[in-house]
């Protein structure tokens, strides 16, 4: 394939068209424009086609059509007639897929969006619903749009209960008897793993989003003394020896 260079104005307009496609809920157009943008921005074609679930030939066809017909090549014609409806079994499959989370479905994100679910339905059942109807469908299935919260993927719940019920009472009794302070500490890093978002999940079941725990950037380490409530903290930018601040 000959090398094709996209002008900055073309890339900018493609990005604008992509936003319009997301807003309108046109999952096929989102995929098509995203592939074109990936090529325009120098992405690896093998990665692009796998990410968007298409063949190389489809990517070539879309690129060729865009080069020849430009913006007229993007819109899809609306299918004639009423779109097919999901069966009861298919709706149950959809419910289980949403409940399992987007990562289990092969998406590289922890939160469902309406467009992702629209894409999942189209890939599995070849039924293309509008984004607004997808919301109605999910509500009817007992799903709601709610905010997730982080959960570490390496915690040992059994060990945690043992510590609370057995180890902590012994530590507390020993510290009181020997007048020894107990410190609880933690650290925080800024702008490292992003912020939580809303996702689709069963009503009454708050979804969980895994976090890697990788800490980069400015760090602050702090401890609180259990008996007195005194608070100590240290800000770290590069090394532990750069700066130390103590607050009582």
Q: Which domains does the chain have, with CATH numbers?
A: 1-77 (no CATH), 81-148+196-210 (1.10.10), 153-193+218-248 (no CATH)
CA–CA gap between residue 81 and residue 248 (Å, rounded): 72
**Threshold 0.75, pTM exceeds:** no
Of 57-66, 121-130, 139-148, 194-203, least confident by mean pLDDT is: 194-203
Q: How far apart are CA 102 and CA 3, in angstroms?
A: 35
What does the pLDDT read at residue 188? 77
Beta bridge partners of 245: 233
Q: Kindly tell me if the per-residue pLDDT of 32 is higher than 90.
A: yes
pLDDT in tens, 53-86: 889 999 999 999 999 999 999 987 765 555 568 9
CB atoms within 10 A of CB 80: 5
Distance CA 29, CA 193 (A): 29
Q: What is the pLDDT of residue 37?
A: 93
Count of residues making up the chain: 248
C-alpha dist (Å) from residue 68 to 8, 28, 74, 146, 207: 18, 20, 11, 44, 46
Check whether 155 has a pLDDT greater than 80: no
State the average pLDDT over residues 106-128: 89
Cα separation, 187 vs 181, in Å, equals 20
CA distances from 129 to 12, 33, 201 (A): 28, 19, 19
Rounded (5°) CA angle 54-61-30: 55
């Amino acid at each position: 394939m000959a090398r094709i260079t996209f002008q900055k104005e073309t890339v900018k307009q493609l990005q604008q068209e992509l936003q319009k496609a997301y807003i309108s809920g046109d999952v096929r157009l989102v995929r098509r424009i995203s592939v074109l943008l990936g090529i325009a921005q120098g992405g690896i074609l093998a990665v692009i086609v796998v990410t968007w679930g298409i063949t190389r030939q489809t990517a070539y066809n879309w690129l060729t059509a865009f080069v020849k017909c430009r913006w007229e090549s993007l819109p899809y014609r609306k299918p004639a007639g009423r779109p097919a409806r999901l069966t009861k079994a298919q709706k149950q499959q959809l419910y289980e897929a949403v409940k399992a989370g987007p990562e289990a479905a092969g998406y590289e994100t922890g939160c469902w969006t309406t467009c992702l679910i629209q894409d999942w339905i189209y890939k599995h059942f070849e039924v293309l619903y509008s984004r607004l109807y997808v919301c109605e469908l999910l509500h009817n299935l007992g799903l709601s749009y709610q905010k997730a919260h982080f959960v570490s993927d390496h915690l040992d719940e059994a060990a945690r209960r043992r510590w609370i019920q057995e180890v902590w009472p012994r530590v507390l009794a020993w510290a009181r008897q020997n007048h020894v302070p107990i410190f609880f500490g933690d650290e925080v890093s800024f702008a490292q793993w992003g912020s939580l978002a809303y996702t689709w999940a069963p009503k009454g079941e708050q979804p969980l989003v895994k976090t890697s725990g990788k800490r980069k950037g400015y760090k602050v380490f702090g401890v609180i003394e259990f008996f007195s409530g005194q608070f100590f903290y240290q800000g770290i930018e590069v090394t532990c020896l750069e700066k130390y601040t103590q607050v009582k």
